Structure 1
Amino acid sequence: MGTVAGSAFDTDTLRRGIEEQTAATLLSLYAEDAELRVIDHNTQPSQPMVLHGRDEIGRMLDDVYSRDMTHKLEECIVQGDRAAFSESCRYSDGVRVLAESMLTLRDGKIVEQTMIQAWDE
């Protein structure tokens, strides 16, 4: 994947960050003032979970990466100050999760992310 011409957002770092078993690399891609909105079965569009700043986002990522599951970056597209990616995950018991994210970038860092996720029930 690599860095896209004209963009400082590094999709190789995104892949490593998603697929490693620690949140540190992924968290390094977020700006200090980033905002993450999560929409799923529990936090629906009218009341999404909204995390403000790297500290809150880091706590969520630490929780996710503490679970017995694998993560894979399926696809990523970067165009100027926008990016989108698909991530698939699998818990050790076989439950699958799919997440789609839309990003706004500033100076190669994520400043806004909207993630829509669904999982097997």
Structure 2
Amino acid sequence: MTTSAGPAFDNETLRRGIEADTAAPLLSLYADDAELRIVDHTAQPSSPKVLRGRDEIAAMLDDVYSRDMTHKLESCVVQGDRAAFSESCRYPDGVRVFAESMLSLRDGRITEQTLIQAWDE
């Protein structure tokens, strides 16, 4: 009897997704039924923005990756079916964005993400 391991989710897989030039590599890490909760200065903790499913997440990621900015994975910890990471982004004019995320994983795909982000104003 042989068993096959599910897709792997690790630091390098996430780094390639985040630091890519398009949203597609990062979007491929999400399960079809994923949910993304976003907390920032416009979506307060008591009323976070919630995106449900890959289509809604894809629309947000396509918008973000269409902007002239760089994305860098700062750190990542993966343990079992959970992961956490820090990401920094920078626009050409020097404006910076910093984000922290907590993930739930299933079969190597993101099923839930809570994203807390802040940026220069």
Q: Normalised by the shorter chain, which TM-score bucket?
A: over 0.9
Structure 2: any 5+ residue segments left out of the alignment? 1-5
Deviation at 1:51, TM superposition (A): 0.2
Q: TM-score with structure 1 length normalisation?
A: 0.92
Q: Does the Cα contact within 8 Å between 2:75 and 2:87 map onto a contact in 1?
A: yes
What is the deviation of 1:32? Answer: 0.2
Match of 1:94, SS state, is: coil
**Corresponding position: 1:23 with 2:49:** no
Give the match for residue 53 of structure 2: 53
TM-score, scaled relative to structure 2: 0.92
TM-superposed CA distance for 1:13, in Å, is 1.9
Listed one character per residue, the Cα deviations across residues 35-70 of structure 1 (whole Å, up to 9, x for unaligned) are 000000000101111000001000000000000100
| 2:89 is the alignment partner of 1:89 | yes
Does structure 2 conserve the Cα–Cα contact (< 8 Å) formed by 1:101 and 1:114? yes
- Per the TM alignment, residue 7 of structure 1 is displaced from its structure 2 partner at its CA by 8.2
Q: Which residue of 2 aligns with 1:3?
A: none
Q: How many residues align?
A: 116
Mark the runs of 5 or more structure 1 residues left unpaired by the alignment.
1-5
CA distance in 1, matches of 2:10, 2:30: 12
State the Cα RMSD in Å.
1.3
* Aligned equivalents of 1:63, 1:36: Cα separation in 2: 15
1:14 corresponds to which residue?
A: 14
Matched-pair identity in %: 79
- Greater radius of gyration (CA): 2
